[in-house]
Amino acid sequence: MKKQRRHSNKISMHFAKRDFVCKCGKCENALKISLGLIGGLEMLRFLSRNRINIIRGYMCPDAAEKIGSIKRNYYTMGIAADITVDNVDPREVFRIAAEIPEFRGIGLNLDAQFVHVDTRKAQDPQLWVEQHHTTIPIDASNRDIYLPPRAPLITSDALPGVSED
């Protein structure tokens, strides 16, 4: 006797459909999700070595309109998510996300302590920080403030017998 296959809610190794469904309660958990977004999130999970929590994934157009957003936005298109990562500071999540080519829109919300990622069609990544209801675009003049260079994990002076001559 063959076992019946159960329908899986898994989208990828670490994410399930329930992570991304609309939470408005009226659209019966509608879902639209980009595989490019899932791939970027899997890469972020690999690089951060910690669990990713999806704060907001897909939103149906009615839910988007209800919170004052336009009906067609990155959430309603299924290409955006707001996230936190267990045991990782949001600034570090932002920095890591900026290294992942799938993510073309990356925002750091300092007030609510989450990171927005999306896979919009853009030549260059769009980076911004939100603080005190103000959006600050990231450019060459302020990049080091919000995306400080990563310190080396091991320096030569920490290794016995190794010098930087």
Q: Which residues of the chain have pLDDT under 50?
A: 153-154
Query: Would strands 105-109 and 126-131 be described as parallel, antiparallel, or unpaired?
Result: parallel
We report the CATH number of the domain holding residue 26 as 3.30.1380.10
pLDDT tens readout for residues 9-51: 899 999 999 999 998 888 888 899 999 999 999 999 999 999 9
Tell me what pLDDT residue 110 has. 95
- Residue 44: φ, ψ to 5°: -60, -40
Residue 58 lies in a domain: yes
42 Cα distance to chain centroid = 10
Tell me what pLDDT residue 57 has. 96
- The pTM of this model reads 0.83
Residue 157 lies in a domain: no
Tell me what pLDDT residue 164 has. 52
Instruction: Supply the range of the domain harboring residue 72.
Output: 17-146
- Residue 90: φ, ψ to 5°: -55, -30
Q: What is the distance between the alpha carbons of residues 46 and 84, in angstroms, rounded to a whole number?
A: 14
Tell me what pLDDT residue 145 has. 85
